[in-house]
Amino acid sequence: MLEAKDIHKSYDGLHVLKGVNLQVREGEIVAIVGKSGAGKSTLLHIIGALDVPDAGQVYIAGTDVFALDTDELARFRNRYIGFVFQFHHLLPEFTALENVCLPAFIANMPEQQARKRAQELLDYLGLSDRLEHKPGQLSGGEQQRVAVARALMNRPAIVFADEPSGNLDSVSSQDLHQLIFQLRNDFGQTFVIATHNQDLATMSDRIMRMRDGTLVNES
Give the pLDDT confidence score for residue 24 in this predicted structure.
93
Give the start-end residues of each E strand in the chain: 2-11, 14-24, 29-33, 55-60, 63-64, 81-85, 158-162, 190-194, 206-211, 214-218
Give the pLDDT confidence score for residue 103 in this predicted structure.
93
Q: Name the percent of the chain in helix, strand, coil, to the closest 5.
A: 40, 25, 35
Give the pLDDT confidence score for residue 150 in this predicted structure.
94
Give the pLDDT confidence score for residue 205 in this predicted structure.
92
Give the pLDDT confidence score for residue 130 in this predicted structure.
92
Q: Which of 38, 78, 42 is nearest to 60 (CA)?
A: 78
With 80 as the cut, is the pLDDT of residue 26 above it? yes
Task: Kindly state the average pLDDT of the residues 25-54.
Answer: 89
From residue 55, alpha-carbon distances to 18, 21, 186 in Å are 10, 12, 36
Q: Where are the domains of the chain?
A: 2-218
Give the pLDDT confidence score for residue 217 in this predicted structure.
67
Task: Kindly state the average pLDDT of the residues 132-146.
Answer: 92
Task: Kindly state the average pLDDT of the residues 101-111.
Answer: 93
Task: Kindly state the average pLDDT of the residues 87-114.
Answer: 93
Give the pLDDT confidence score for residue 128 in this predicted structure.
93
Q: Which fold has domain 2-218?
A: Rossmann fold (3.40.50)
CA atoms within a 13 Å half-sphere pointing along the CA-CB vector of 68: 17
pTM of the model: 0.89
Note the pLDDT tens digit of each residue in 56-84. 999 999 999 999 999 999 999 998 999 98
